[in-house]
Amino acid sequence: MHPVSRRRFLAASAGTAGALALAAPSARAVAGGRRPFGRHGSPAARRTPQTLYVDPLGRGDFTTVRDAVAAAAGSGWTLVLAPGVYRETVVLDATRTEATWIGASEDPRDVVIVHDNAAGTPKPGGGTYGTTGSATTTLQAAGFTAHRITFANDWLRADHPDITGTQAVAVKVQGDRSAFHHCRFLGHQDTLYADSMSLTAFARQYYAHCYVEGDVDFVFGRATAVHEQCHFRTLNRTDLAGAPYGFVFAPSTAGANPLGQLVVRSRISSEAPDAFYKLARPWVPSSDTTARPMLTVRDTRMDAGIDAAAPYTNMSASFPWQNQRFAEYRNSGPGARITVPENRPQLTRDQAGSATREAYLGDWEPWKGAC
């Protein structure tokens, strides 16, 4: 998948500064204009009785994802999304299990679910949204699968200098057995919130061939999450005078959970100057001060944007990163150089044998049968 930065899509449209626009739909999407759902059927020829079709131009069952989700009560529904920008917030609640969302184009850039709330954005009824409430898409149901969709939050700090709560989540994922194939996650701070439904729920999540970009803690949360063959991109910043610009990962793994986030056979690139980003910092939330954040990065290329000498830092001095569960194994690239060994904890070969997708996800094998 070709990684295209959200900044190349940012443009003013219809009086809304910073709106996300489709700069150029793929040739396949244009060619399929008369077949907006591609190879996935249509309202006249449904794949299954539990398949619904969504198209902003009115050629499907619904024009918004939110309305389609509302109609798909219960378990086992599939939504096929035609190319377009779906500017809305969406919640898939815990009762709508085993749901599948499919981007009808073969290119995830063609199907975009986007909104622009931040944690500090005022709510119509008073107060602010907070980090969780800022999410464009919230996915609570177990057994969720997404294919070739972009999840985005295009709220920008520069447009809102009066707002200090700058967390702006593209997607919050809470359900067990949540899988994403060839998807994109675009934002700045707190882009991808890989979480669970409660402190005691250990949600397993799988991200394959995905693209994620942002600046501060842009992959975070307490889920047991495997990122395989993904591309993480750190953005440049003009609002800060020096390093660090941000942090790629901020896990908040529960202390009782033996498995946190695993990154394998992936890449971390950067738009920022060399060494202006940290690989990770531990997040120990006030709601769970017994958390022991866990992140393992293995067989992954880190470009020069990562600070090789000091890739980890603290979020709070009360919870130093050295007391958490950070480890690496067989990484490459200038950002992975081991120049200060005590700052780069490494797995042994035997330990690496347990740092695999199979060990993390158990009897769930979401890499099989992907469409």
With beta carbons less than 8 A apart as the criterion, state whether 193 and 171 touch. yes
For 193, half-sphere exposure in the C-beta direction (CA atoms, 13 angstrom radius) is 26
Asked whether residue 6 carries a pLDDT value surpassing 80, the answer given is no
pLDDT, average across residues 132-155? 98
pLDDT at 60 over 60: yes
The partner residues of 204 in beta bridges, in order of sequence, read 224
Pair of tokens at residue 222:
């307490």
pLDDT in tens, 188-243: 999 999 999 999 999 999 999 999 999 999 999 999 999 999 999 999 999 999 99
Mean pLDDT of the chain: 92
Query: What is the model's pTM?
Result: 0.93
Of 55, 61, 110, 217, catalytic: 217
Is residue 190 flagged as an active site residue? yes
CB count in 10 Å sphere of residue 289: 11
CA distances to 90, 131, 221, 223, 337 from 205, rounded to whole Å, are: 19, 20, 11, 7, 29
Owner of token pair 């793929």: 26
> Looking at 33-42, 88-97, 150-159, 192-201, which range is the least confident one?
33-42
C-alpha neighbours within 13 Å on the C-beta side of residue 143? 11
What are the structure tokens assigned to 42, written together? Answer: 């249509």
Q: Is a pLDDT exceeding 90 seen at residue 262?
A: yes
Question: In sequence order, which residues have a C-beta less than 8 Å from that of residue 329 and are 6 or more positions away?
Answer: 296, 297, 298, 299, 346, 347, 351, 352, 355
pLDDT band at 56; cut points 50, 70, 90: very high
Predicted local confidence at residue 233, as pLDDT: 98
Provide the 10 A C-beta neighbour count for residue 18: 15
- The mean pLDDT value for 354-363 works out to 98
Q: What is the DSSP letter of 30?
A: H
Residue 217 designated active-site: yes
* pLDDT of 29: 57
C-alpha to C-alpha distances, 318 to 8, 173, 290, 292, nearest whole angstrom: 39, 28, 12, 12
Give the helix/strand (H/E) hosting 269.
strand 267-270
Residue type, 312: Y
Is the pLDDT reported for residue 98 higher than 80? yes
* 352, pLDDT greater than 80: yes
